[in-house]
Structures are given as C-alpha cells and as structure tokens.
Structure 1
Amino acid sequence: MLTTEQVAAFERDGFVTVPGFASRASCERLQARANEMVDAWEPSEHRSVFTTNEQERQSNREFLDSGATSWCFFEEEAFGPDGELAQPKMLSINKIGHAQHDLDDEFERFAYDPRLAEVADDIGLVDALALQSMYIFKQPRIGGEVSCHQDATFLYTDPVTVTGFWFAIEDATLDNGCLWAAPGAHRSSLRQVFKRNDLDDPASSDGTVFDVLDPEPLPAPPVELDATTSSLVPLEVEAGTLVVLHGLLPHWSGPNRSGTSRHAYSLHCISGQADYPDWNWLQRPADMPLRPLAR
C-alpha cells in the first residue's frame, strides 16, 4: 500500500500521511454511526471526562473498563458552573472508546480494511493486532487539548510496537486542532508509562499512576500555533487522510476554539509477538481476545 518514499518517510520522521486512504463516503458513514451511538448513550451518575492532563486525570471505572466496551467521555469544558451541560449532549462528547472496532459493524468494517493490514506489513509491524480505538469529536469551541505524549506511554509493549493509525474523518486544520508531531523524535527514549496500580487489591484497582523512565521533557507545544516556536510541525490534512504514527513519536493537538469540529478515528495496534504487561490500563477479558488486522 505504501510507496518506497512513504516507508522511508515513516522511518525517518516517525509518521507518514497517506491522503485519500479512506473514501469520503466511508468517513461519512462512520461519522453518522458515531453520532447515533452518542444519541443512544445515557451517561451514568458519574460523568466520565477525558483528559490527558496528568495533574487532573482521575481514573474511574468506566475508563478502566472501556477496553471491552464503547463508552462516551465528555469534554472537560462541557459543563457549566451549575454542573449541567452547557450545550446539547451531541456537542459535549470528547470521544467514544475503546472497543467499538470489535463491537459495532460499521466500525468493524472501517478498522479491519485489508488495506490497513498491508500498511502494517509495509512499516514492519509483525502480526498486527487491533488493541483499541477512539472516535474523537474535537468539538467546536470546547474541543480539549491533548498534551504532548507518546502512545507507548499508554499502550506499552516489550519491545515497543504500538502504532497509531489516525484517520481524518473531517478536515483537520490549524484552526480546529490538527495534530502536531516532532519529526525524527521517535528515535528518542520513552519518557514514562501509565500503569494500573494496586493490582493485587481488587478493591483499589481503579487507580492509575505514571512511572517516569526518563525525565527529559517532551517537545513544548507551539505558542499561539506559531510553528517557529516549537519542534513540533502541524499536520493539516483533508478528510480521508490516514496518518501513521510510531509509538515513540511525540505528538500533540491543541484545543479547538473554532466553530468547526474536527472528527477523527484512531486505531492503535500492537504486535502479537510482543509482551503486553498486565499493568497496562487497558485490558480485555479472556473471552474477548485481540484480533489480527488481516481478515
């Protein structure tokens, strides 16, 4: 699927963009299905909010159980001072995660496209297994920032094999919070890992902790989206574009303060030949094993 030049770009930069990988029609079908899922979803009394801010994250049961289900997580800024939604539910959801690719027909068709298995082969991801996926809404005006991170922090394998397949369902621009990445920085170290803690105590296993492996900071985000102020570069792409991300690549996306949403779908895969520790936050039950990309 990938050209020699695209494979070389991935090896050099830690990411590669593949314009037009998904058709506009398939993007529209996935978007429609995601909207249907949000419309049908009723939140629990505890409102799960998604954030990558380490100081503010409070892991909860919905988050830790979502490896085997499809759960909706609110934007951090979705609620007003009275604790009620400040806009309709449909415009308040940050993402759906994390197993819809194995639980929903439309998401399954999109995720298990045989061409994606070919891309995995092209970049050397051996025995690729679909681990988790997220449908990301990046809502108008309240779409949350995703802090600079490495995917291997959250989905660790030994050796590191996690690879992100990120699809632009809508056009991603500077204004609505496109991805930014640090070319070549995938050749640096893994800074930290995100673990479940108190695994031996079921009563307290809903907590998580970051273990620092290397104190070297990740690249700083740009100041006011000025690319000259950061080593990160913007990835403005049209709907249907696939962006392949190495698991050690630092990447970031800013808040969406525009009036236009930035829907995206992200599928993370790992090699079936690597070890996936039981301290990873995302775990699947024994009766829901990971499935290979190739069908």
Structure 2
Amino acid sequence: MSYLTQDQIDAYHRDGFLMLPGFATDGDCAALMAQAGRLVDGFDAGAHASIFSTVDQQKTSDDYFTSSGNQIRFFFEEEAFDQAGRLRQEKHLSINKIGHAMHDRDPVFDRFSRDARLGAITRDIGMEKPLLMQSMYIFKQPRIGGEVVCHQDSTFLYTDPMSVVGLWFAVQDATLDNGCMWALPGGHKDGLKKCFNRTDTGGVGMEVLDASPWPDCTPENGYVPLEAKRGTLILLHGLLPHLSGPNRSDHSRHAYTIHVVDGACDYPASNWLQRPTHDPARGFA
C-alpha cells in the first residue's frame, strides 16, 4: 500500500527532500525523549569520552565509534569538555548523539522505527528492499550544540547504485534560532563529492571525489531552511547537500534520524559502518 501521493514523490525526486508535518504524534516524541534520557542515565560518562564531529570525523573516530554499527553508543559535543578534560556541564547536557543501532537494540526506538508507514514511504520513492542501516538520536544541546557542516549522507553510507535515504524526525521544534537544517534543493543531482571509508590499516579516511566546494549557505545561493514543528518527518535524499549551524540558543533541538539503504544494491565492505554477519541489517517488517 502506498503512503505518498504522486505529487509528493515527484517533489522528493525534484528537490531531494520532502517535509511531512505531523507524521509523529506529541506522544511519540515524548516517548522518544524520555527513552533517550533513560539511556543517557545508564551511560558511564567516565568510561568513554568519544567526540562526534562532522568538521573532522576522521580525527575524532576511534574503535568505540567504528564498532558501533550494531550497538548503542554515546558521543559528546566538541565543546563539552574544558581544557583539563572535565565536562563543562552535567552529562545530559553534554551528549551530541546516541547511535547507531537504536532501531535494533532498544524496544522503544525499535517500535517507532519499524512503523509500517515508513516501509511504505521508502518503497514509494523507489526502494526495492529497504533495510534500516543506521539510527541516531541527536540532542543539539543548548549553547554548545555543534555545527554540522554541509555534507551528503551517501558520503557515510555508500551503495552501488546509491540508494540511502534519511528519515529525519523533529522530536522538538527545529527553528532558525536553535540550529534547524538547511538544504540545497536539487543539489542531489550533482553527484557525490566524498566517501568516508575504512582503510586497509583498520582506521577510517575521507576519499575526495570532487574537490569543488559547496556554495556558501545563503538564500542567495539557493539554500532553504528546513524549519520543522515537533512531529515532522523530513525525507532526505542521500546525495542532498544539507547542514545545520551551531545551537547558541537556550533551547535544545532534539531529533531522531534513521538511514535506510536498498538491500538490492551493493553495500561495500569499505563503508565505515559494518554489521556482523550474524547480525545483519533488517527491514521494516
């Protein structure tokens, strides 16, 4: 059964994104927020201090990050620590995100992620065998919420042919003040610029395919803000250039995102995110 109209499908393929306000209920969002809080409660911040950065993920990647493909792991904001390595504020206000297999390892996120409507949506836009490959709960903390530089999701989850789609949910209102996303409509038609791969030595590295920079993020250059009320679902094409600025406001911008790939496509072993053979990525059913 289809979920999207033909006009919505056409808009997604034309622009590289589609906004679906009111997809999730306030109750859904409250449940995700509460469960994320419980997960952080149980995290020993003294045991791991892995930092997430889209500015230089190669520099901040470690075994804790690269082995997280089928686990629930916690990653701090870059500005969470002082020069002595101590948290500047309490743990709940210092986490950048939780990832990368919440959809498989947590019952609350599993139920939300495997909503039958999401399976219908991914098939509507052309997926033959949609598989949930990655999930993240993103906090965008007040005052220290880090910048997410302009990127394409296919840089981090590559398939041949390219198939990844992001399902991004506004768990709280995303506004210009608290670091909503910006996107370049139609930019998904210009090809892939980078690949974030595992290296032969066991680390990770960024392969540059096209060194030309993205245009500066201004309305004059065609970018549009994706302000989203709580409960909105935004579909993001894997090649769509998108970004978000830092959050310097007093209000967090919680979001939950799932990245889906088409199991009918090749998923190379060079991808940084790998699932063990005994625990492969699964679909919506």
TM-score of the pair, normalised by structure 1 = 0.93
Correspondence 1:208 to 2:204: yes
Displacement of 1:82: 2.4
Displacement of 1:121: 1.2
Q: How many aligned residue pairs are there? A: 283
Displacement of 1:92: 0.2
Q: Which amino acid aligns with 2:262?
A: S
CA RMSD in angstroms comes to 1.2
Aligned residue runs from structure 1 range 198-237, under 5 A = 198=200, 204-205=201-202, 207-222=203-218, 227-228=219-220, 230-237=221-228
How far apart, in 1, do the equivalents of 2:59 and 2:176 lie?
A: 26
Distance 1:67 1:214, change over 3 A: same
How far apart, in 1, do the equivalents of 2:208 and 2:259 lie?
A: 22
How far apart, in 1, do the equivalents of 2:164 and 2:46 lie?
A: 31
CA contact (8 A) 1:148 1:219 kept: no
> What secondary structure does 1:73 align onto?
strand
Displacement of 1:47: 1.0
Match of 2:179? 177
Correspondence 1:255 to 2:251: no
Match of 1:26? 28
Q: C-alpha offsets along residues 56-91 of structure 1, whole Å, 9 cap, x if unaligned?
A: 733101100110100010000011232211111000
> What secondary structure does 2:235 align onto?
strand
Correspondence 1:265 to 2:256: yes
Match of 2:99? 97
Displacement of 1:219: 3.0
> What secondary structure does 2:69 align onto?
helix
Q: Which amino acid aligns with 2:281?
A: L
Match of 1:201? none
Correspondence 1:278 to 2:280: no
Q: C-alpha offsets along residues 210-266 of structure 1, whole Å, 9 cap, x if unaligned?
A: 1111122223234xxxx34x4321000101000000000000000000000000000
Q: C-alpha offsets along residues 109-137 of structure 1, whole Å, 9 cap, x if unaligned?
A: 11000000011111112210000000000
How far apart, in 2, do the equivalents of 1:220 and 1:104 lie?
A: 38
Distance 1:197 1:44, change over 3 A: farther
Q: C-alpha offsets along residues 11-62 of structure 1, whole Å, 9 cap, x if unaligned?
A: 1100000001111101100110001000110135451000011377331011
How far apart, in 2, do the equivalents of 1:271 and 1:132 lie?
A: 13
How far apart, in 2, do the equivalents of 1:187 and 1:57 lie?
A: 29
How far apart, in 2, do the equivalents of 1:213 and 1:116 lie?
A: 32
CA contact (8 A) 1:126 1:271 kept: yes
CA contact (8 A) 2:137 2:255 kept: yes
> What secondary structure does 1:84 align onto?
coil
Aligned residue runs from structure 1 range 127-206, under 5 A = 127-198=129-200, 204-205=201-202
How far apart, in 1, do the equivalents of 2:146 and 2:213 lie?
A: 21
Displacement of 1:292: 0.9
Give the % identical residues: 54
CA contact (8 A) 1:220 1:231 kept: no
**Unpaired segments of 5 or more residues in structure 2?**
none
